[in-house]
Amino acid sequence: MVDVNKSILARLKVKDKLFEVLVDCDKALEFRKGKCPIEEVIASDQIFKNHRLSEKASEHDIKSIFNTTDPLKVASEIIMKGEVQLTTEHKKKLLDEKKNRIIEIIHKNAINTQNNLPHPQQRIESAMHELKIKIDEFKPAEDQVQSIVKELANILPIKIETRTLQVVIPAEFAVKSFHSLKKYSKILNEQWKTNGSLLADLEIPAGMQEELENELNKISHGNVDIRILSKR
């Protein structure tokens, strides 16, 4: 168990009942990701209905809500389903991490509709700041991207696009290039010709096409043919 003096509250309200448990902030967040055992998260095995007043939850209420009185199982459910009261420092750290992840996803998956190239990450971040876009530190970044792109479209020419490409790579560069194809895209179809060359159909986020092209051109010294088959 962790130091009580350094702990914070995790709380869960079910119907009209409130349940609280003392936890380590960092470890509680790790526990939510499945990266930490509950024994390392809690500072006490007591389940409270009001920790500030030192009021413990009754065994009857705990049993009726959680179908168990095992404090570890109850604490686990409170942490997973409830609210972890973050310190200001922890909240800022989580928000920064989530913002950076969202910007990365938008950079890789969206394009500037004026030139069909990805927006630089700094431009995306500046636009988010200008629009005062709110980020949910607990909601997965992937689930926030679509709504944020819609907001960004108010001041940026931007849209999320997926492309299907056809790539032809000469035999002497095919094997080495295949790793790059898997790194940047989903390979839909591959045909190894009798002369050793590779013909492949790929699905790739539009923002990643330029990076893939640069890497393939570097490997093949420009001897690669890339065509866009479709966009969606």
Helices within the chain (DSSP H only): 25-32, 59-66, 71-81, 88-109, 121-131, 141-152, 171-184, 209-220
* pLDDT band at residue 209 under the 50/70/90 scheme: very high
* pLDDT band at residue 1 under the 50/70/90 scheme: low
Identical topology for domains 88-160 and 162-231: no
Residue 79: the pLDDT is 94
Percent of the chain with pLDDT over 90: 77
* pLDDT band at residue 15 under the 50/70/90 scheme: confident
Query: Hey, what are 183's tokens?
Result: 């790194």
Query: Hey, what are 180's tokens?
Result: 């790059």
Residue 89: the pLDDT is 83
Architecture of domain 162-231: 2-Layer Sandwich (3.30)
Q: What is the CATH number of domain 4-84?
A: 3.30.1250.10
Q: For 155-186, how does the pLDDT look when each residue is reduced to its tens digit (9 = 90+)?
A: 999 999 999 999 999 999 999 999 999 999 99
Q: Distance between CA atoms of 44 and 48, rounded to whole angstroms?
A: 10
Query: Hey, what are 226's tokens?
Result: 């890339």
pLDDT over threshold 90, residue 218 = yes
| 165 HSE (CA, 13 A, CB side) | 25
pLDDT over threshold 90, residue 2 = no
Residue 137: the pLDDT is 84
Percent of the chain with pLDDT over 70: 99
pTM of the model: 0.68
Please choose, from the candidates 184, 97, 183, the residue with its C-alpha nearest in 3D space to the C-alpha of residue 140. 97
**88-160 CATH pick, 2.60.120.1570, 3.40.50.150, 1.10.10.900, 2.40.10.220:** 1.10.10.900
DSSP code for 16: T
Residue 52: the pLDDT is 87
Domain boundaries, the chain: 4-84, 88-160, 162-231
pLDDT over threshold 90, residue 139 = no
* pLDDT band at residue 26 under the 50/70/90 scheme: confident
pLDDT over threshold 80, residue 119 = yes
Give me the phi and psi of 76, to 5 degrees please. Answer: -60, -45
Q: Do the Cβ atoms of 96 and 103 come closer than 8 Å?
A: no
* pLDDT band at residue 91 under the 50/70/90 scheme: confident
Mean pLDDT across 201-206: 94
